[in-house]
């Protein structure tokens, strides 16, 4: 049997996401940035010139579905394996058969490996010579960042295509197709209320598989009314997705109110309140990347120099989100929230940059003082560049007084350190330097 054949036998007994997998690119929904008209990957698929590639994206974005589409349109022999249940021996056997197939039948082989990040280094290394010689073309799928999880040698032999979560509009198309398709739910007349549909699209979080599974459960567990129609209202959909709808429109007042409460709780040094609003945002399916972006901003805006490590912790939370993903990343993000909320507060950084920006707006035409100009090229000294510059490391305390701004803003003070937390030490050092000759 060719790829997916066994899975597609008697499709009506298979889950809705499997039954609704498209057989060609015209039916494929989403990923226009790599599959739109004229895009490289689309042209390669249509021309049956698939090289080795890695499909990287979140669950339900269409990685395996795209592999199925390729299996239907290519003339190459298509083999599918899962990294969770394959090993070196099986991979070597596949490669040996691919060599014979190319030699005796002039037929290429495409090997699709799902969850390639689960292959160890030795297993990944087995693929390299066959990819290099062209005996196989590899299509690999992964939910993890391939730059961290896949060998550099293998990455250099494959193109990486990142798939994105489906938008609400794209998910709506997927749901509509499934509702109308004979392979889907067309034989069960049903009607989805706008509130129920919106809840389904919100809670699916860009995952087509989640949306279709919830839709099927909602339809199949609803009793038809007198007209024979199954009405899927909000309460039915909430049961199907096991998540209650939250009054949290990401473009409306409720969204901004919750975000405002979250920020003000951190600024007000209340870690419990900050965690509560964080949990509310997660429950409402807020994009966690939005949350960590706010953490990074407020680590400087509200904590700043009073605890410079707050910025490091905020960035560490953002890094954890990329490396680990949700839901596990909620833990390092919560740690960053607690750190920022409990840290001493200072907004001196905000005041400093805003003051500097205001002055720069009216003095941007001022030339750089000659002693501060670049003196690294041959004729610089002849032009007076760098002449008179005092090298701080040649003086006691690695400091020497000299003017670093144009004359008309000499003496301007933008940064005014507070005495909060670590910033007290900064203030003491600046005050000390001011006493030196």
In tens, the pLDDT along 56-77 reads: 988 888 998 998 898 888 898 9
Q: Which residue intervals of the chain bear CATH 3.40.50.300?
A: 31-162
Instruction: Identify the pLDDT of residue 43.
Output: 92
* Class at the top of the CATH hierarchy for domain 253-342: mainly alpha
Beta bridge partners of 109: 77
CA 95 to centroid of chain Cα atoms: 34
* Rounded Cα gap, residues 188 and 255, in angstroms: 36
Q: Which residue intervals of the chain bear CATH 1.10.3710.10?
A: 366-434
* Rounded Cα gap, residues 64 and 169, in angstroms: 21
**pLDDT over 60 at 10, yes or no:** no
Tokens of 76: 């190459």
* Rounded Cα gap, residues 277 and 286, in angstroms: 11
* Residue 334: CB atoms within 10 Å: 17
How many CA atoms does the CB half-sphere of 242 hold within 13 Å? 3
**pLDDT over 50 at 8, yes or no:** no
* Rounded Cα gap, residues 79 and 94, in angstroms: 8
pTM: 0.56
Please state which CATH number belongs to domain 366-434. Answer: 1.10.3710.10
Instruction: Identify the pLDDT of residue 244.
Output: 52
Could you identify the residue written with the tokens 């190459």? Answer: 76
Q: What is the pLDDT of residues 317-356, one digit of tens each?
A: 999 998 888 888 999 999 999 999 999 999 999 999 999 9
**pLDDT over 90 at 252, yes or no:** no
Overall residue count recorded for the chain in this entry:
437
Instruction: Identify the pLDDT of residue 14.
Output: 84
Instruction: Identify the pLDDT of residue 373.
Output: 87
Nearest to 32 by CA among 44, 19, 41: 41
Tokens of 151: 């060998």
Q: Which residue intervals of the chain bear CATH 1.20.272.10?
A: 253-342
The alpha-helical segments, DSSP class H, found in 299-347 are 309-324, 330-342
| Residue 29: pLDDT band with limits 50, 70, 90 | very high
Segment 215-233 mean pLDDT: 93
**pLDDT over 90 at 147, yes or no:** no
* Class at the top of the CATH hierarchy for domain 168-241: mainly alpha
User: Does the CA dihedral 82-86-88-89 come out positive or negative?
Assistant: negative
Beta strand residue intervals within 211-294, DSSP E: 230-232
Instruction: Identify the pLDDT of residue 203.
Output: 84
Least confident of 89-103, 178-192, 204-218, 247-261: 247-261
**pLDDT over 90 at 206, yes or no:** no
Give domain 31-162's CATH architecture.
3-Layer(aba) Sandwich (3.40)
**pLDDT over 80 at 380, yes or no:** no
Write the DSSP symbol of residue 272: H
| Residue 11: pLDDT band with limits 50, 70, 90 | very low
Instruction: Identify the pLDDT of residue 372.
Output: 87
Q: Which residue intervals of the chain bear CATH 1.10.8.60?
A: 168-241
């Amino acid at each position: 049997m060719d790829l997916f054949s066994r899975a597609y036998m008697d499709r009506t007994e298979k889950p809705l996401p499997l039954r609704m997998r498209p057989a060609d690119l015209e039916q494929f929904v989403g990923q226009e940035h790599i599959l739109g008209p004229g895009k490289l990957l689309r042209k390669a698929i249509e021309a049956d010139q698939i090289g080795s590639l890695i499909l990287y994206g979140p669950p339900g974005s269409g990685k395996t579905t795209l592999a199925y589409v390729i299996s239907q349109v290519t003339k190459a022999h298509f083999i599918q394996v899962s990294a969770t249940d394959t090993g070196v021996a099986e991979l070597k056997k596949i490669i040996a058969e691919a060599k014979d197939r190319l030699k005796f039948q002039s037929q290429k082989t495409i090997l699709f490996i799902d969850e390639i990040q689960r292959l160890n280094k030795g297993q990944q290394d087995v693929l390299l010579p066959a990819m290099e010689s062209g005996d196989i073309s590899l299509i690999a799928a992964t939910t993890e960042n391939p730059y961290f999880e896949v060998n550099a040698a293998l990455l250099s032999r494959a193109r990486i295509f990142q798939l994105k979560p489906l938008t609400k509009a794209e998910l709506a198309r997927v749901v509509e197709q499934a509702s109308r398709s004979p392979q889907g739910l067309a034989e069960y007349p049903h009607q989805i209320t706008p509130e129920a549909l919106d809840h389904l699209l919100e809670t699916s979080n860009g995952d087509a598989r989640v949306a279709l599974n919830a839709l099927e459960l909602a339809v199949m567990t609803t009793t038809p009314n007198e007209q024979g129609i199954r009405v899927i209202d909000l309460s039915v959909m909430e049961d199907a997705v096991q998540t209650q709808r939250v009054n949290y429109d990401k473009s409306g007042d409720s969204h901004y109110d919750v975000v405002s409460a979250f920020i003000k709780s951190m600024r007000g040094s209340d870690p419990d309140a900050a965690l509560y609003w964080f949990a509310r945002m997660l429950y409402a399916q807020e994009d966690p990347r939005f949350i960590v972006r706010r953490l990074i901003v407020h680590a400087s805006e509200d904590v700043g120099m009073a605890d410079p490590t707050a910025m490091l912790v905020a960035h560490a939370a953002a890094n954890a989100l990329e490396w680990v993903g949700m839901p596990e990343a909620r833990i390092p993000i919560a740690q960053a929230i607690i750190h920022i909320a409990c840290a001493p507060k200072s907004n001196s950084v905000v005041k400093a940059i805003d003051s500097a920006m205001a002055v720069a707006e009216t003095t941007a035409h001022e030339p750089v003082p000659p002693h501060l100009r670049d003196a690294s090229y041959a004729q610089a000294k002849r032009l007076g560049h760098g002449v008179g510059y005092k090298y701080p490391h040649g003086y006691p305390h690695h400091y020497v007084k000299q003017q670093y701004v144009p004359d008309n803003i000499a003496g301007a003070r933008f940064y005014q350190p507070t005495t909060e937390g670590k910033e007290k030490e900064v203030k003491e050092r600046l005050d000390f330097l001011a006493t030196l000759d």
